[in-house]
């Protein structure tokens, strides 16, 4: 980006972070499961947005303390809504299967699954170990497959028992599934795989009343991101956006809520870019 473009982005009215959009009842009565929902990232903001939109939520994560803190915070803010939790390591098939079964039992049913779990990092290909490659692919892509498979089985049975039942699966992809970035080969490959998985599972899910879509954020800045990526890189990525800033995590969560709602009943197999990147 040229200096003129950077200056223009910083001076744009859109560079100022807007007030968080209030809830509009988009998910009233819906039962939603969100993976990797503990902490301060997109998962937590999505769980909170579900409650803002009138739904009930089950938050899942592998970190017991952070998950407990997340649930306590959400229950305190939304005392009239149902907030549940299940510990889950998304790299373990038995735990993912138990998550879907347990969520259906605790919530009474599942209407929406948000596959938010993912793992990044910054390593050039020449320096990347097999373990680094495998770990990112497993947490980011394979876990999305595991949860999608378990949810598809659940929705298939629910639809067979009640032809009026519909389900929604929303995956968290990334613009790196389309675009190249230094040191991100493992993450980009995993997110491209999430996009392909979204399209293929959407075709199969249609048979059972299931819509499957994905969001593709460019950059949503939160404290956890700084643990796996340098502040300098994050600053540069934010400056490269047309707005001159990164997205707030709630700005991603609102799009996820839209995809989970009845405003998108004719959308499936789509990857929605949540980005202000320049073409």
What's residue 230's pLDDT?
63
In terms of DSSP bridges, do strands 31-34 and 83-87 run parallel, antiparallel, or are they unpaired?
unpaired
Of the residues 187, 243, 263, 266, only one is catalytic, namely 187
Catalytic, 266? Answer no
At 242 the pLDDT is 78
pLDDT at 85: 98
Report pLDDT for 14.
76
Distances (CA, A) of 45 to 40, 52, 73, 111, 135: 7, 10, 12, 18, 25
- End-to-end Cα separation, the chain, in angstroms: 11
CA angle at 73 for the pair 69 and 78, rounded to the nearest 5°: 145
Task: State whether residue 137 is helix, strand or coil.
Answer: helix
**DSSP-derived 3-state class of residue 58:** strand
Q: Is 80 exposed, middle or buried (0-12, 13-18, 19+ CB in 10 A)?
A: exposed
Amino acid 1: pLDDT: 47
- The whole-number pLDDT of residue 279 equals 42
Q: How many CB atoms are located within 10 Å of the residue 55 CB? A: 26
- pLDDT recorded at residue 116: 98
Question: What is the predicted pLDDT for the residue at 10?
Answer: 55
Show the beta-strand stretches assigned E in 70-206: 83-87, 112-115, 167-172
Query: Domain spans of the chain?
Result: 31-274
* Distance from C-alpha of 82 to C-alpha of 86, rounded to nearest angstrom: 14
φ, ψ of residue 16 in degrees (nearest 5)? -80, 130
Mean pLDDT in consecutive groups of 10 residues from the start of the chain, 279 residues: 51 81 97 96 97 98 97 98 98 98 98 96 96 98 98 95 91 93 95 98 97 92 59 68 85 97 98 80
Q: Hey, which CATH number is domain 31-274, 3.90.1150.10, 3.40.50.720, 3.20.20.70, 3.30.70.2190?
A: 3.40.50.720
């Amino acid at each position: 980006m040229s200096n003129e473009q950077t200056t223009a982005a910083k001076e744009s009215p859109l560079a100022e972070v807007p007030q968080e959009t209030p809830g509009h009842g988009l998910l009233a009565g819906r039962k939603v499961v969100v993976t990797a929902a503990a902490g301060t990232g997109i998962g937590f903001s999505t769980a909170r947005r579900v409650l803002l939109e009138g739904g009930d939520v089950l938050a899942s994560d592998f970190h017991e303390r952070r998950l407990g803190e997340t649930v306590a915070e959400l229950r305190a803010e939304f005392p009239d809504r149902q907030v549940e939790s299940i510990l889950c390591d998304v790299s373990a098939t038995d735990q993912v299967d138990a998550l879907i079964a347990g969520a259906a039992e605790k919530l009474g049913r599942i209407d929406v699954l948000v596959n938010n779990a993912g793992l990044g990092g910054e390593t050039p290909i020449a320096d990347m170990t097999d373990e680094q490659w495998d770990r990112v692919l497993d947490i980011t892509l394979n876990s999305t497959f595991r949860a999608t498979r378990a949810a598809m089985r659940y929705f298939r049975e629910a639809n067979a028992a009640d032809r009026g039942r519909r389900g929604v699966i929303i995956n968290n992809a990334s613009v790196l599934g389309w675009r190249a970035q230094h040191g991100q080969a493992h993450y980009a490959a995993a997110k491209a795989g999430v996009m392909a998985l979204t399209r293929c599972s959407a075709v199969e899910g249609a048979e059972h009343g299931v819509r499957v879509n994905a969001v593709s954020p460019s950059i949503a800045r939160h404290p956890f991101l700084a643990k796996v990526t340098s502040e300098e890189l994050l600053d540069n990525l934010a400056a490269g956006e047309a707005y001159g800033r990164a997205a707030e995590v709630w700005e991603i969560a609102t799009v996820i809520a839209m995809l989970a709602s009845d405003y998108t009943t004719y959308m499936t197999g789509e990857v929605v870019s949540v980005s202000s990147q320049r073409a």
